[in-house]
Amino acid sequence: MVRHAEVNVESKGYISYEVICYKYSISIPLLFSLISRSWRNIHTEREVSTSFLKAKDLFAQDAHSPSIVRVTSKVYRRVALYEPGEYVATLNYYNGTQTVANWLVRPLQQQKRAKSVILFICDGMTTNMITAARLIGHKSINGKYHKFPVLGHQMTHSLDSYITDSVNSASALYSEHRSTVNALGGVETIVEILTRIWGSAIGVVSTAFIADATPIALNGHTRLRSQYGNLIDQALRGVTNYTWTPFSGPDVFFGAGAKRFIAGSRSFQGKDYYNEFANSGYTVSLNKTSLLKVSNATKALGIFCTSNLQCGNKKPVLDLPGLKEMTLKAIDILYARGGDKGFFMMSEAASIDKHMHTLDYHRALGDLLELDDTVNATKLKLDQTLIIVTADHGHGFVVFGSADTKYLSSKFDDREKRNAIVEYTNSGLSQYTVTNASISYNTGANFPVNWNPRYTLAQDVGANPDHRENYRVHKSGPRLPATNVTGFSNDDYFICSSEAQGVHSLTDVPVFAMGPCQELFGGVYGNIDIFFNMANCLGLARPNNATGTTPSNGAQRGLRAGMLVFQMAIGWVALSI
């Protein structure tokens, strides 16, 4: 049920409208069963109202004339639909306006088919990036996940926008619950369900700071992703200020972001979270040497630098682990701790996205090659485990030719500079395979032998700030894509964002699958289907939503239970159940 009013602020006064008559109806194939079985003991919460200012469109934004938006929502808890089928919720308002929400209740799967799942998330990766990385590597051993027997594509849009952010998409992958920008964890996540039902081991690995969107969303619950300290506390203790699934922390927690662990203003409540984890039974590692010495029998925390880990084509830092070292060590620990109960691990190549944002394409492709090497090592280490390689969203990246960087730098006229970009026959072959004796790091079998050839890829993304491009590797460090030297407002030179960086794009991203249940991942589907497929494969569906260690008669937890929420703001209706 929704009551909504909007007030437009104009020079002549106020124009307002409000819903005064409203009703809720639900059309289902099995109405009697729904009423008799599913809607008993429903807990109805009080209506919650809020208001905020928002420009209705760009004209209102330019005129600095926002509207007051008032929203009232009502929540029904303990609602569960167990009869398989397609359900339709209809909301009628404004004396004739109608919004329809559709959702699907899936049949219960009767068999647990995989003991363990490894989910590789290549943050921001697209098929175009895979192609470019394969070209500059140009080695037969690259692209190991390309040979996975099943290839599918997932749609990445969110609840209220076709361009998603990372935390929103991660929440969909982990919990089948699409959200909105900056919000995550509206319902139980796959690791919380897995530990509740099977007691399996859980692993989180990322090259980002560990409170970043993709790693922290595995059991994080908040409306605001920037609550980093609180989310780290949730990772350790679960949700403690609300009735929720008990969670005592992952068995493996590897990544970066030490500034959120050191006692002080940036840590949650000023606590030392190295000590907090240690007091909860974790062995703490701060470098590669100590990581490799950790016993496989113990829970492990590894935080290896203050911000994000160096990876890809960056010069190696002494005693700093990469994605492969962290992932392989995590597998050893999870295999030992999970035992017959199995494990779930998410391993993220985070800097593909971070470098695409800053238009630092070579570093992004280097990160993708590092991920390729990690997947290959994982394949050799495990069998009878479902391995999935996918992304959370994409960027508008494309290669459209090659660039003669020497010719480009020699010209001063913009028209002449354009002639440095060549295509078709003139684009030639990859020069990244020609040895450059001046570069001696990250040039092995899994990487280019020359990161800085004269003839480079001519590459770009579709949404970026105004900038000049030389197509060279940025040797001094990750790229700063644009600097305002005009004296005018920054916003005049950035597209889509107030920040000097590129943004995400609308594109389906690839899904590679190998192992038990691999056939479920073919075709084109929504990102929430990744969750359902993993949950079915792990035997997480149950008809009575009970906890335990062994599903009765092989049945699994009902895959559509939770809360029913109706909320409308400026004509938008959100439904989750």
401 residue type, one letter: G
Spell out the alpha helix ranges (H) of 181-283. 190-197, 213-216, 228-237, 273-279
> CB of 255 within 8 A of CB of 300?
no
Distance CA 98, CA 90 (A): 7
Distance CA 306, CA 302 (A): 12
Beta-strand relationship, 85-93 and 23-27: antiparallel
For residue 487, give Cα distances in angstroms to 206, 414, 490. Answer: 39, 22, 8
Distance CA 305, CA 257 (A): 6
> Does 392 show up as a binding residue in the annotation?
yes
The count of other CB atoms within 10 Å of the CB of residue 532 is: 21
Among 207, 40, 178, 39, residue whose Cα is nearest residue 120: 207
Catalytic residue set: 166
> Does 189 show up as a binding residue in the annotation?
no
DSSP 8-state code for residue 553:
G
Provide the strand spans (E) within 32-116: 43-44, 48-54, 67-80, 85-93, 97-105
> Does 353 show up as a binding residue in the annotation?
yes
CB burial class (10 A; 0-12, 13-18, 19+) of residue 216? buried
Q: Which two tokens stand for residue 397?
A: 């990246």
> Does 357 show up as a binding residue in the annotation?
yes
Q: Packing angle between helix 190-197 and helix 166-175, nearest 10 degrees?
A: 30
> CB of 559 within 8 A of CB of 188?
no
Distance CA 99, CA 568 (A): 10
CB burial class (10 A; 0-12, 13-18, 19+) of residue 43? exposed
Q: In a 3-state reduction of DSSP, which class is residue 144?
A: helix
CB burial class (10 A; 0-12, 13-18, 19+) of residue 315? exposed
For the chain, the straight-line distance linking the first and the last C-alpha, in angstroms and rounded, comes to: 14
> Does 393 show up as a binding residue in the annotation?
yes
Distance CA 243, CA 275 (A): 26
Spell out the alpha helix ranges (H) of 358-484. 361-381, 405-410, 414-418
For residue 501, give Cα distances in angstroms to 297, 342, 461, 541. Answer: 43, 41, 10, 42
> Does 504 show up as a binding residue in the annotation?
yes
> Does 6 show up as a binding residue in the annotation?
no
Which residues contribute to the annotated binding site for Zn(2+)? 123, 353, 357, 392-393, 504
Which residues contribute to the annotated binding site for Mg(2+)? 123, 212, 214, 348
Which residues contribute to the annotated binding site? 123, 212, 214, 348, 353, 357, 392-393, 504
